[in-house]
Structure formats: C-alpha cells, structure tokens
Structure 1
Amino acid sequence: MKKVFKVGFGGGCHWCTEAVFMALKGVEKVEQGYISPKENPTNFSEAVIVHYFPGVIELKDLVAVHLDTHRSTENHSMRNKYRSGIYYFKKSDKQTLVDIINEEQQNFDNPLITAILPFGAFKSSEERFHRYYFNDMEKPFCKTHIAPKIKLLKEKYAKHLSSSVL
C-alpha cells in the first residue's frame, strides 16, 4: 500500500484552494476548513489539508501550484483571513519547504510572502461547502474566481491534472 503524506495550504478562499488541489493527480483527499499554526492555535485562517502520494506528485510540485494559484507575493487587506502559508506536519519537512520556496522565488518578480508554519489545529468548514466548485461549476463565484485557476492549471500544470476530476 502506498504511503500518503499530508501538507496544509492557505492563501485564498478555501473553496478555490480545495478545487485546485482536487484537480491534481496523486492527491487522495483535500480537507477544506481553517488551519492555525502551532505557535498561535487560536489564529485560524482559511486553508486546506492535502493528502497526497509523493510517488505520483512531489511536494515541490504542490508548492509550485499553490504559489501560482493565489497572490503569494501580496500583503492585502484580507491577508489575516487568507494567510499565505504552508503548514508542515513533520518537523523534517520544514527545511525541505524552505528550500522549495527559495527555489521558487526565481519565478516571481516580487518577494514571496508565503510563511512556512508548523501545523497547529484544523477546523473543518461546513459540509455544504465541501467540493464547492465540483458540485456546481456554473455558480457565479466558481466562474469568476475558481475557473481561472483551473484554466491556469490546464495551461501550466497539464501533466499533473487528474482526468477523473476535470
């Protein structure tokens, strides 16, 4: 049986983030909700936990997708609600993530603001919001905010897209 790894991602609306990662090969499950970092367990922001098979998709590819599908270089007024972060579950993953972010920085004109944080706690969003995009792609929010991210995946990350999802 293949071993499943997990990592948390936050940066934008969790409906968007969930759809992006659900569209990828090698992603077994995406939990949509709110994550807080270990150092501040009551400071939740919208995020997802991605369960993935590293033999199918690598952590560096997940990070690249994440950085490209939210405003990872912008400190905007909604940043507390939508913290740009990657949450690790194993301490050994921290340096790997630092190295990946440093390597990815060359692909951006402005400095990345995405924080690498130890996972603290998770609260699931309401069940009715799970699979938001895939339950009704025609909703105005989906067309306006999520569909452009899926289009970017098709253009830039086609080899990682799951045909069963799209």
Structure 2
Amino acid sequence: MSKNIQITTIGGGCFWCTEAVFQKVKGVEKVISGYAGGKVPGKPTYREICSGLTGHAEVIQITFNADVISFEDLLIIFMTTHDPTTLNRQGADKGTQYRSVIFYHDKHQQEIAAKVLKEVQQYYDTTIITEMSALPVFYEAEQEHQNYYKENTQQGYCSYVIEPKLSKLRKLHADKLK
C-alpha cells in the first residue's frame, strides 16, 4: 500500500520548538530543522542566521502522510502552538529569523494556507502577520539542531519555552498525537 507522502515548510520562531511539536503529531514521518527565505548566496550557518543579516528564517521541513494528517490540520496545529500575531518575534526570541512563515510548495498548499489563515484569525485579538510565500531554497541546519528537544530535555530552554508549547499541543490537539 503506497502512502500519500507530502512535504511542507513552516517557521514559527525557534525551530527547536516547532520541531518538538510536530515530532509528536500522527502522520508526521520526519521533521528537519533548517533555514529558508534568505537573500544571501550559499548555505547559511546558524551563527549567520542568528545575526539576522541573512534574511533567512528558522524553519522546519515536515514530511507527512496526507492519508493520516491533512496539510490543513498541520497548519491549524502550527497556527495554534505559536503566536502568529507578533512580527519577527516568539517570546524572548527577536529578529527576522524568528518570523512566522508558511513556505508553500505548490498552488494547492498556497490556497489551503490562505484559507487556514483566514479561518483562524477569528481566534486572535490582533492581526495574524504570518508571512506566506513560495518555498525558496531550503537548507538543512547543522546536526546539533536536529532532534534538539529529544536530546536536550533537561536544558532550561526546553523546560521554559518548549514544554509550554507541547502542553498547548496536548490540550488543543490530543486527537492528533502519536
């Protein structure tokens, strides 16, 4: 039996947070932390991204089975587990590298993303500023940024920043968890 495997690329602040959230979702087969949306040539490094000068966002690329979880459901989880109303910021993380962004892979994803953004706006008191654009080049982040939460659960950042997002995921989307 073949699977309906699709890929999407999103950014909701620090990629460690979004990676941890989506690794827990049914139908998600792989999550890769990386960078996209920059304006400088060549593969950027984490240090360059953190400077905010490259224009890249910290993103994750999700490989998922659309027969198990739809692209629309993934976006709803995304839009409700980070703050899509703050410009270039998630919590204490500030800069363009932490912007809320959906990099669609095709026209169908673009249409669904626009629909989801419109639908979830009613749940926020301020305007959603999530950027939406076609996926430029995706660069995989360095190995130490892959599976960060799984390998560093005792770190303070994981306890204070990632755990609340996972708690929100469990509260709002328990039916979608592995």
Give TM-score scaled by structure 2 length: 0.84
Aligned residue identity for 1:93: Q
Structure 1 outlier segments of 4+, above 6 Å: none
Tell me how far apart the structure 1 counterparts of residues 121 and 72 of structure 2 sit (CA, whole Å): 12
**Match of residue 107 from structure 1:** 123
Q: Counterpart amino acid of 1:115?
A: E
Query: What is the alpha-carbon distance in structure 2 between the residues aligned to residue 65 and residue 141 of structure 1?
Result: 21
Q: After TM superposition, list the pairs within 5 Å mapping 1:49-88 onto structure 2.
A: 49-76=61-88, 78-88=94-104
Distance 1:117 1:76 in 2: 16
Aligned to 1:161: 177
In the other structure, the counterpart of 1:89 is 105
Partner of 1:63, secondary structure, is helix
> Aligned AA for 1:74?
T
Equivalent position of 1:35 in the other structure = 36
One-letter amino acid of the structure 1 residue matched with residue 155 of structure 2: K
- After TM superposition, the score normalised by the length of structure 1 is 0.90
Q: Offset at 1:76?
A: 4.7
Structure 1 CA distance for aligned equivalents of residues 28 and 101 of structure 2: 19
Q: Which runs of 5+ in 1 are unaligned?
A: none
Match of 2:143 in 1: 127
1:41, 1:63 → 2: CA distance?
Answer: 28
Q: Indicate the SS of the match to 2:3.
A: coil
Question: Aligned residues: percent identity?
Answer: 32
Counting matched residue pairs gives 160
Aligned equivalents of 1:76 and 1:119: distance in 2?
Answer: 18
Superimposed CA distance per residue, residues 65-121 of structure 1 (whole angstroms, 9 cap, x where no aligned partner):
111222211125624111211111112321221111111111211111111110001
Instruction: Answer whether contact 2:87 2:99 (CA < 8 A) is retained.
Output: no
Matched-pair contact (CA < 8 Å) for 1:9–1:86: yes
Amino acid at match of 2:128: L
